[in-house]
Amino acid sequence: MGKVYITGAGPGDINLVTLRAKAVVEQADVILYDNLVNHEILDWAPAHAEKIFVGKLPYCSIITQETINEWLVSHAEKGKQVVRLKGGDPLIFGRGAEEAAFLKKNGIEFEIVPGVTSSLAAGAYSGIPLTHRDASQMVLFVTGHTKKGRAGGLNFNWPMLAAFDGTIVFYMGVKNIGQICEELTRAGKSAETLVAVVENGSLLHQRVISGNLSTISNEVIAAAVGTPALIIVGEVVRYHQDLNWFADIQKSYRQQIA
């Protein structure tokens, strides 16, 4: 029997990949990797390693989760060292727990290698602290879309979210940002609550669009924001302008390639 390493590839910047993730990639026989994985990571793999793209594009699942599960088992049963490479952290909206449960059910040894989740990187690289003694003592991670086939759309407890006295981070929510802002304000959150949308967090082409619950949806449309992107809601967004250290690096990079 081989072994499966359910591995977080981090948010995009290759410098944010953990040493453990690099080590398991370097000894892999097979790598099943997702859409948002930095392809430079694949260069660490041995020459013989088989690299299989199993990414799910936004709102378009080409390869089913069931198929991925079966492939993990099949390769491990052949005695392979298998790396399941997933963007961010595999256990934060990454389906890593589902894959681990399937491996356990089929008697396959596995290890879960944590990664830097995108919200931490997007906050750090945009100068937005997710917690701050003067602005937020709590942070809440929320998925911005629901499981395919589940009725009711974004059927969250909106009054609970609106009353949450801290930072709210919506993953995968740009397509639904209009509904998110509308529901939060309808449930009682101030329309003046600050919001930032971070596109391609930690990468050199990162963009940060800021506003409030009443304006951000139109700002996102005007800027043609795409995926991947995170929505950060809360007073911590006000630190963006002062702490945006990454902007100087982006400016220097643009000057170099101009």
Give the separation between CA 222 and CA 233, rounded to whole angstroms.
19
Per the annotation, the verdict on 51 as an active-site residue is no
Helix (H, G, I), strand (E, B) or coil at 57: strand
Give the separation between CA 201 and CA 22, rounded to whole angstroms.
21
Give the separation between CA 230 and CA 80, rounded to whole angstroms.
35
Residue 60: in which H helix or E strand, if any? none
Give the separation between CA 176 and CA 190, rounded to whole angstroms.
19
Per the annotation, the verdict on 34 as an active-site residue is yes
Q: With both helix axes pointing from N to C terminus, report the angle between 96-105 and 65-77 in degrees, rounded to the nearest 10.
A: 50
Residue recorded with tokens 């942070």: 139
Catalytic residue among 34, 80, 89, 189: 34
Give the separation between CA 107 and CA 87, rounded to whole angstroms.
25
Catalytic residue among 13, 86, 89, 172: 172
171 alpha-carbon distance from chain centroid: 6
Tokens for 12, please give them. 């995009």
What lies within 8 Å, CB to CB, of 228 at 6+ separation is 36, 87, 118, 172, 199, 200, 201
Catalytic residue among 22, 51, 56, 175: 56
Give the separation between CA 99 and CA 255, rounded to whole angstroms.
44
Give the separation between CA 113 and CA 3, rounded to whole angstroms.
13
Give the separation between CA 52 and CA 54, rounded to whole angstroms.
6
Per the annotation, the verdict on 56 as an active-site residue is yes
List the catalytic residues.
Answer: 34, 56, 172
